[in-house]
Amino acid sequence: MTAYEQFCRHAAEINDILCAINVLQWDARIQMPPEGAQTRGYQLATLTRLAQERFTSAENGRLIEVAESELTGADPDSYPVRAVKAAREAYDIFQRIPQDLLAGRAALSAEAQNVWAEARKKNDYALFAPYLKQMLAYAQQMAEAIGYSDHPYDALLVQYEPGMTAQRLQTLFAELRAVSLPLLERITAAGPQPKPAFLEREFPIEQQRAFAIEASVAFGYDLNRGRVDVAPHPFEISFTRQDVRITTRYQLRYPFAAIFGLMHETGHGLYELGAAPELTRSALTSDYLGMYAVGGASFGMHEAQSRMWENLVGRSLAFWQVYYPRLQEYFSTQLADVSLDTFYRAANRVQPSLIRVEADEVTYNLHIMLRTEIEMGLLDGTYTVDELPAAWNAKMEEYLGLTPPDDAQGVLQDVHWATGYFGSFPTYTLGNIMSGQLMAAARRQVSGLDDALARCEYAPLHNWLIDNIYRHARAYTPDELLIRATGEALHTGPYLAYLTEKFDALYPG
């Protein structure tokens, strides 16, 4: 057996444990009875510790080292070289992180999430603040341990979005603001956009489910390697490319939650399903820093796929020109008096709101900028934890023209900071930016793509994404993938052009 084969055998076993963790997570979120939570917590903690011990072991260090020397001179872009490199980078980072830091953060996280839920219910930020201070201290220690040259946020971003920095984010955000804020001003000048009344009719769940799955399969989701379940907080999760599961939630009087929610998770699922078969059970489908089995280059690149299929495809006029008559067949009484134009506008209604997860395409990034700027400010000392509610409200006013009536609808709305994972928020916006860039490149490279999309034929777009993005799993960084696929580094041009063109047409001045 070559050194590389030995490295792969070890990586495969770690991937098996990570996939088993995912199965337990899926079960916990889909069908576990409430009393199962405590012992499930032990099971997850034990398996995570086993995976981490195997990965950080001296033996794995030796396997990495021997494989590196065996691969000296091999193509630096080949999957074997990339697999060993990914393991090396994570291995070295783990050497720098003290064990008690990870254990302490994990222990605090469980407690902090409970306190956060209670604080949000009671609208009592002061209850959560002491836990947030401890979590922030862990994040700062983590940044120091991982290391950075410019901003502590850079060290945390490594875990979610390799290659991204605070400074790059600030530049991207300035570009987004310069276009989004005037666009939003033009749209809101027309007055408030109330939720259309037809959306509050009753849409039976069984038909919502049938339509949502029909669209998902049309995009390319493979039910022989997946299944669709109900979850209050929808997600996608994979146990290798052979079993990639997605979820959605149903609201009787708001069918968009299920339809667009499933399109979103379908995009994540297509990424995992599209990984090259030879990368199954490998270092390139294992996120070692997160101790998570996943086959995408970064959180942002993953989000680019969900937003591509949900927004650029699923909320397009081209999609609904074909699929709206089909939806009307499912809901013949509910939609009989609703025109395509009315429906399409409802699917793309822009209305500033206090809640990120309900935000439309134009305001979504403003919610993310606010959170990211606050995270950076906490890390570098611009804000203290006690100043957060005021900082939050000031930014809400600046970006969205709204002031939260209370902290439950303001600074307490997301669970992210209670879990301790500072640095993941910007990946949602990076996903949006990347989705625009990928779609523009696919249009340039695939002849007849727009005609195919107008016929709702998705194989040409899906195949381009498989060839350029999905099959590589974690072999390349987001920057490398973008340059390989589009010829250009990450930039906001195509995404901002898409936003402006789409919403100027929907809301002519």
Catalytic status, residue 480:
no
CB of 364 to Zn ion, least distance (A): 12
* Contacts with Zn ion, 409-428, as mask; x by CB under 5 A: --------------------
Give CA 285 to chain center in angstroms: 16
- Cα 209 to Cα 206, 217, 247, 478, 482: the distances in Å are 5, 12, 11, 33, 34
Is position 208 an interface residue for Zn ion (rule: CB under 5 A)? Answer: no
- Among residues 298 and 306, whose Cβ is nearest to Zn ion? 306
Is position 248 an interface residue for Zn ion (rule: CB under 5 A)? Answer: no
CB of 402 to Zn ion, least distance (A): 24
List, as one string, the DSSP characters of 432-443. HHHHHHHHHHHH
- Among residues 306 and 363, whose Cβ is nearest to Zn ion? 306
CA distance 435 to 469: 12
Beta strands in 249-373 (DSSP E): 286-287, 292-293
CB of 155 to Zn ion, least distance (A): 24
- Among residues 154 and 360, whose Cβ is nearest to Zn ion? 360
- Among residues 306 and 348, whose Cβ is nearest to Zn ion? 306
- Among residues 154 and 161, whose Cβ is nearest to Zn ion? 161
Of 44-52, 81-89, 101-109, 304-312, which segment contacts Zn ion by CB under 5 A? 304-312
Of 21-29, 79-87, 300-308, 349-357, which segment contacts Zn ion by CB under 5 A? 300-308
- Among residues 15 and 306, whose Cβ is nearest to Zn ion? 306
Consecutive H or E run containing 157:
helix 152-157
Taking CB under 5 A as the criterion, which residues in 40-69 touch Zn ion?
none
CA distance 490 to 322: 32
CB of 237 to Zn ion, least distance (A): 12
Number of residues interacting with Zn ion: please give it, by CB under 5 A.
1
CB of 310 to Zn ion, least distance (A): 8
Among 306, 365, 435, 486, binds Zn ion (CB under 5 A): 306
Of 71-79, 109-117, 173-181, 299-307, which segment contacts Zn ion by CB under 5 A? 299-307
CA distance 250 to 257: 6
CB of 16 to Zn ion, least distance (A): 25
Of 51-59, 107-115, 221-229, 302-310, which segment contacts Zn ion by CB under 5 A? 302-310
Is position 266 an interface residue for Zn ion (rule: CB under 5 A)? Answer: no
Q: Which of 161, 236, 265, 375 is catalytic?
A: 265
Beta strands in 104-212 (DSSP E): none
Q: Which residue has the tokens 């969205």?
A: 400
- Among residues 247 and 413, whose Cβ is nearest to Zn ion? 247
CB of 80 to Zn ion, least distance (A): 30
CA distance 485 to 469: 7
CA distance 480 to 466: 16
CB of 306 to Zn ion, least distance (A): 4
Q: Which residue is nearest to Zn ion (CB)?
A: 306
Torsion angle, CA of 106/261/296/135, rounded to 10 degrees?
-20
CA distance 487 to 505: 29
- Among residues 304 and 379, whose Cβ is nearest to Zn ion? 304
The torsion region of residue 62 among left (phi > 0), alpha (psi -120 to 50) and beta comes to: alpha
- Cα 30 to Cα 231, 239, 257, 415: the distances in Å are 6, 15, 18, 19
236 phi/psi in degrees, rounded to 5: -120, 145
Secondary structure of 307-329 in HEC code, one letter for each residue: HHHHHHHCCCHHHHHHHHHHHHH
CA distance 87 to 70: 15
> At 414, which amino acid appears?
D
Of 104-112, 129-137, 306-314, 489-497, which segment contacts Zn ion by CB under 5 A? 306-314
Of 30-38, 305-313, 322-330, 341-349, which segment contacts Zn ion by CB under 5 A? 305-313
- Answer for the pair 130, 440: CB distance below 8 angstroms, yes or no: no
- Among residues 306 and 372, whose Cβ is nearest to Zn ion? 306
CA distance 347 to 328: 15
CB of 475 to Zn ion, least distance (A): 21
State how beta strands 244-248 and 292-293 pair.
unpaired
CA distance 213 to 216: 5
Catalytic residues: 265
* Residues found near Zn ion in the complex (CB under 5 A): 306
